[in-house]
Amino acid sequence: MPLRQSLYFTGPRRLEVRSEDCPAPHRGAVQVQTRLSAISPGTEMLIYRDQAPKQMALDESIAALEGGFQYPFKYGYAAIGEVIALGDGVDAGWLGERVFAFNPHETHFCAPSSGLVRLPKDLSSEDAAFLPNMETAVNLVMDGQPVIGERVAIIGQGIVGLLTAALLARFPLEDLVTLDFYANRREASATLGARALHPDELAPSPHPRADLIYELSGAPAALNTAIALAGFGSRIVIGSWYGEKQAAINLGGDFHRQRIQIISSQVSSIAPRFQGRWDKTRRFASALKMLAEISPARFITQRFPLNDATVAYRLLDENPQQAIQVIFKY
């Protein structure tokens, strides 16, 4: 039974890479050697800072993330690797396949072959590591339902915000404005065709009201900015997960009288209005296609070995302005 190295969250701002047995694959499963995995800075910073709700499951839709947010636990959901062993009943064609899996950060893991995604040969592993966030961006666009000629604003240009901007830039919009405090994110956003601004640049002068606003910053207080940007009947799509963070939201004044809509968007399910025609397989296929067309690996700013996980998370925690996407290389 081979040993693997697995990253554990062991307490607030505490991490540990542990050696542990990697079991042989059971019937219907395969063993994967991880080549790289991507940190999801929004969700994983909530975990790292002990801001995730203790009463919630890690993720009820991902088999590899069992249990709750009680330390110690493994986390992560963007692993790219190679199938190196097969359990009984698995087709021999899986051996050597390059695959994506919703799996925590670790050097080896076993998973049912039915839960893996075979990666197209023309898609790089680094581009493929963005698959969960691209699926989220696809879901955000579906939930917002942009209309030709609309004015769209995105608050927050972390990786989900950037991928959402990349998709929306392909629509015939009147305007696509993105807001972020960090210069490197605004620069990346501008390369996608967005009008990338510092939030303070909106304050001094009147601005046209947006028809559709996305709140993707992870900061609950940014909802007040979204409301300030909205016009009569505007839609605000919240893709951020705030965990236990709270803020006072101004629901009087403009919000009350202008019939502003607030829409929750979460990638673990598909909006009811699409469920008759869409399932996760179809949405995944769309996300893979968009990865190939947008090539988001250009947004990777740092690459670390797993043993330097403490350095990686400290960077995201203390100097987020220096990072966009951080990955582990194995």
Task: Express each pLDDT in 183-218 by its tens digit.
Answer: 999 999 999 999 999 998 876 556 679 999 999 999
Which architecture does CATH list for 134-271?
Answer: 3-Layer(aba) Sandwich (3.40)
| CATH topology assigned to domain 3-124+295-329 | Quinone Oxidoreductase; Chain A, domain 1 (3.90.180)
What is the predicted pLDDT for the residue at 57? 52
Q: Which residue has the tokens 């019939």?
A: 259
Give the CA distances from residue 83 to residues 95, 113, 116, 306, in Å, rounded to whole numbers and listed in that order: 5, 10, 10, 20
Ranges of each domain in the chain = 3-124+295-329, 134-271
- Determine the pLDDT at residue 65: 54
Alpha helices (runs of H) in the chain, residue ranges in sequence order: 41-48, 125-128, 131-144, 159-168, 183-191, 222-229, 254-257, 280-294, 309-318
All residues at 6 or more sequence positions from 97 whose CB lies less than 8 Å from its CB, including other chains: 82, 83, 116, 118
Query: What's the Cα-to-Cα distance from 186 to each of 82, 103, 139, 293, rounded to whole Å?
Result: 35, 30, 23, 21
Give the chain's residues under pLDDT 50: none
Q: Are strands 98-101 and 117-118 parallel, antiparallel or unpaired?
A: antiparallel
Helical residues (DSSP H) of 182-232, grouped into ranges: 183-191, 222-229
* Cα–Cα nearest to 56, from 73, 39, 41: 73
Distance CA 311, CA 304 (A): 8
pLDDT tens figures, 60-90: 555 555 666 788 999 999 999 999 999 999 9
pTM for the whole structure: 0.92
Q: Report, in angstroms and rounded to the nearest whole number, the Rg of the chain calculated over CA atoms.
A: 20
pLDDT at residue 277 in the model: 96
